[in-house]
Amino acid sequence: MRDLYHDELDSIGASLIAMTHLVAAAMERASHALLDQNLAVAERVMSDDVAIDALRNDIEERTFQLLVRQQPVATDLRTLVTTLHINSDLERMGDLALHIAKVARLRYPDCAVPNDLRDVISQMSEVAMSQVDKVAQVLDGRDIALARAIELEDDSMDALHRKLFTLLLTPTWDRGIETAIDLTLLGRYFERYADHAVSVARRVVFIVTGQMPEPAIPIGITG
């Protein structure tokens, strides 16, 4: 029975890694749809979000079943309870990629991002992709050093977010309120995606060490 229990625990962990790959693909495609005005890719992000939601529900159900049947203690209990939080973070990352794709679709065939702001949005996408790639590695290898690197990398996302706002608030802004709203939302979506990646990394540190590291950023904001 214990072997079956640990096999299921390992299977849930593998499903979390699979979900990470799904939300990484969602962000990559959403960014491509946004910057390259690709309607088909934007719509794929939307249709694929169903799979992310389904996997989230499956992981949650299997985790609850293990909690009820096995009544784990110590590290196993910490792992299962934290898995529920990680599962929620990853699902939210998929939703944020979905929101980016929806902006791309809303403005098609035009691009929601003006040419002179493409660089900052592209860089935000690159940081998000770098972080989610590390998240998959952290979940797979329980690498505490890499988990902490994800949080440090988030400084780059915060700096880009501030840069975007600075550009939007310049007195010479002449692209209208609608474009400003789009970019404000896009900046928020990328920034929150990165925040959830940090949250996952911190939770892995908690699984391994039993201690939640002090946050370098405000994790608790809803989004």
The structural domains of the chain, with segments of one domain joined by +, span 2-209
- DSSP alpha helices (H): ranges in 108-219? 118-141, 144-168, 176-209
pLDDT in tens, 14-32: 999 999 999 999 999 999 9
* pLDDT over threshold 50, residue 218: no
Which CA distances in Å does 96 have to 45, 62, 110?
11, 25, 21
21-77 confidence digits (pLDDT tens): 999 999 999 999 999 999 999 999 999 999 999 999 999 999 999 999 888 888 899
DSSP state letter for 113: S
Two tokens at 130?
Answer: 């770098």
Q: Residue 5's pLDDT band (boundaries 50, 70, 90)? A: confident
Cis peptide before 109 (omega within 30 of 0): yes
177 φ, ψ to 5°?
-70, -40
> What does the alpha-carbon distance between residue 176 and residue 142 come to, in Å, rounded to a whole number?
47
- Rounded to two decimals, the pTM is 0.92
pLDDT digits (tens, 9 = 90+) for 168-207: 999 989 889 999 999 999 999 999 999 999 999 999 999 9
Compute the average pLDDT of residues 144-149: 92
When pLDDT is cut at 50, 70 and 90, the band that residue 1 belongs to is: low
The answer on pLDDT for 146 being more than 90 is yes
Residue 77 DSSP code: H
pLDDT tier, 212 (very low <50, low <70, confident <90, very high otherwise) = confident
| Longest Cα–Cα distance in the chain | 68
Q: Give dist(CA 173, CA 161) in Å, integer.
A: 17
DSSP class of residue 110?
A: S
Indicate if the pLDDT at residue 159 is higher than 60: yes
pLDDT score at 2: 64
Residue 43, C-beta contacts closer than 8 angstroms, at least 6 positions apart = 101, 105
Which residue in this structure is represented by tokens 């540190």? 205
Q: Is 55 exposed, middle or buried (CB count within 10 Å of its CB: 0-12, 13-18, 19+)? A: buried
Run of H or E residues at 142:
none
Q: Quick one: pLDDT at residue 98?
A: 98
Could you tell me which CATH number the domain at 2-209 has? 1.20.58.220
CB–CB of 22/10 below 8 Å? no
Q: What percent of the chain has pLDDT over 90?
A: 83
Structural contact between residues 42 and 108, judged by C-beta atoms closer than 8 angstroms: yes
Query: If pLDDT is split at 50, 70 and 90, which confidence band does 81 have?
Result: very high
Q: What is the mean pLDDT of the chain?
A: 93
- Give the helix/strand (H/E) hosting 211: none
What values do phi and psi take at 216, rounded to 5? -90, -10
As a whole-number percent, the residues of the chain with pLDDT over 70 amount to 95
Residue 187's identity, in one-letter code, is G
User: For residue range 100-109, what is the model confidence (pLDDT) as tens digits?
Assistant: 999 999 999 9
